[in-house]
Structure 1
Amino acid sequence: MLEQWLPWLDMAGIAVFAASGALVASRKEMDAVGFVLLACVTGFGGGTLRDLLLGNTPVFWLRAPEVVGVAAAAGLLVFFIAHRVENRFRALLWADAVGLSLFAVAGAEIALEAGAAPWAAVLLGVVTATFGGIIRDVISNEVPLILRREIYVTAAAAGAAGFVMLTQAGLWREPAFALGVLTCLLIRALALLRGWSLPAYKGRPGREHPDR
């Protein structure tokens, strides 16, 4: 059952992540080519790295060119409607949160299907969910969300780990998938709504040594 839905869920995640990339392009006032570029790298950048690490070549979007079409279409759609979005950065954060949740669990599922160990599946789920956003932010000269004082990677890891643990415990993959996505989305949503963040390192004066 999940195998039938997984391509559609993956496509939904690509569309949402692509829209988040295009929203960044709108904030940077790029042209249509810039919208499509950021939409594509955000939509399948993480999945590309996942496939390369798993040895799945050619990577998924070369085997399914419709993926490129979906990402490009999402980018062009945002190009024409972005001016109607009142707070683009807020919209970006929420679109990114949905994509993060879908990709974290879908990436872990694909890794498990490829024979990866459970711990590696969790790691590859995080890679799938975050690497496209890193490329997006680097290209657009933004501080990557992964480096900000926000609960981001932690949410992706929790969703992927929850899914993997539930499937390893014998739960059907469909409810495990749904619970993993909801776990990641809930953590990320609470972090956005309540301003949660992990504690950051604070500089301290170095220890002084007496001259010898």
Structure 2
Amino acid sequence: MLFLTLFYVAIIVEAMTAALSAGRRRMDWVGVCLLACATALGGGSTRDVLLGHYPLPWVAHPHYLVVVVAAAIATIILARFLDRLKTLFLLLDALGLVVFSIIGCNVALEMGQPVLIVIVAGMITGCTGGVIRDILCNEVPLLFRGELYASVSIVAGVIYVGGLHLGLMHEVVVLVTIALGFTLRALAILRKWQMPSFVYNKDWH
């Protein structure tokens, strides 16, 4: 029950952050809703297409679309108030990243995939929605801007899979993974931790 609740929180937050991004690009209401759906459900859909896992989440559970669109419309209505909650949204997004990563790992594990693919599936689920959002908004994806984002997803996946291989209770593994993954991402946001950047300015001509 806790896990399902966290999943709904994650897709709602992703939908709302996407709606705010769409608003900054002056998209119409249809564009806002489409961007919200692509962001909130795009990671899971991409994972399932790559792994051949069907039906896609929103096809198997159409009410996910209703929840995401409702969150996007609510954001349009409440936008003037939500903009003041930027830090809260970033922290909730951090929670969503970890929850999505666990879900992605779970799907791959149920399919019997090897550990490396399980970790990658978690990262795809956690990060791809944000990449789609940023690309459609003509921005450099957060994933490629030095932020501790994909690395947090990978760490969360390793903790989750490692805990299961140690034979720990599933609920305990989930809670520990969420706690550690969220803490790492939150610290990265608050302390502005970043990955080293590659800079190459040499002229070839």
RMSD over aligned Cα, in angstroms?
2.0
Tell me, yes or no, if the aligned pair for 1:103 and 1:128 is still in contact at 8 Å: yes
Corresponding position: 1:65 with 2:57:
no
Corresponding position: 1:174 with 2:143:
no
Counterpart for residue 18 of structure 2:
21
Corresponding position: 1:151 with 2:133:
no
How far has the Cα of 1:94 moved from its partner? 3.0
Amino acid at match of 2:119: V
Counterpart for residue 41 of structure 1:
38
Secondary structure (helix, strand or coil) at the match of 2:197 reads: coil
The worse-fitting range, judged by mean Cα deviation, of 43-52 and 116-125 is 116-125
Counterpart for residue 133 of structure 2:
136
Q: Which runs of 5+ in 2 are unaligned?
A: none
Secondary structure (helix, strand or coil) at the match of 1:85 reads: helix
CA distance in 2 between counterparts of 1:61 and 1:76 reads 18
Corresponding position: 1:74 with 2:71:
yes
Tell me, yes or no, if the aligned pair for 1:104 and 1:156 is still in contact at 8 Å: yes
Tell me, yes or no, if the aligned pair for 2:10 and 2:93 is still in contact at 8 Å: no
Residue 111 of structure 1 is aligned with which of 100, 108, 111?
A: 108
CA distance in 2 between counterparts of 1:52 and 1:202 reads 34
Q: Which runs of 5+ in 1 are unaligned?
A: 207-212
Tell me, yes or no, if the aligned pair for 1:167 and 1:176 is still in contact at 8 Å: yes
Residues matched between the structures, number? 204
Amino acid at match of 1:166: G
Residue 51 of structure 2 is aligned with which of 54, 63, 76?
A: 54
CA distance in 2 between counterparts of 1:18 and 1:130 reads 14
* Cα deviation 1:110-144 (Å, max 9, x = unaligned): 22122222221111000000011111111111111
Counterpart for residue 199 of structure 1:
196
Counterpart for residue 185 of structure 1:
182
User: Structure 1 174/122 Cα, relative in aligned 2: closer, same or farther at 3 Å?
Assistant: same
Tell me, yes or no, if the aligned pair for 1:130 and 1:146 is still in contact at 8 Å: yes
Tell me, yes or no, if the aligned pair for 1:41 and 1:136 is still in contact at 8 Å: yes
CA distance in 1 between counterparts of 2:6 and 2:114 reads 23
CA distance in 1 between counterparts of 2:119 and 2:100 reads 11
Secondary structure (helix, strand or coil) at the match of 2:200 reads: coil
* Cα deviation 1:147-200 (Å, max 9, x = unaligned): 112111111111111011000111111110111122221111111100110111
Tell me, yes or no, if the aligned pair for 1:25 and 1:140 is still in contact at 8 Å: yes
Report sequence identity in percent. Answer: 34
Amino acid at match of 1:126: M
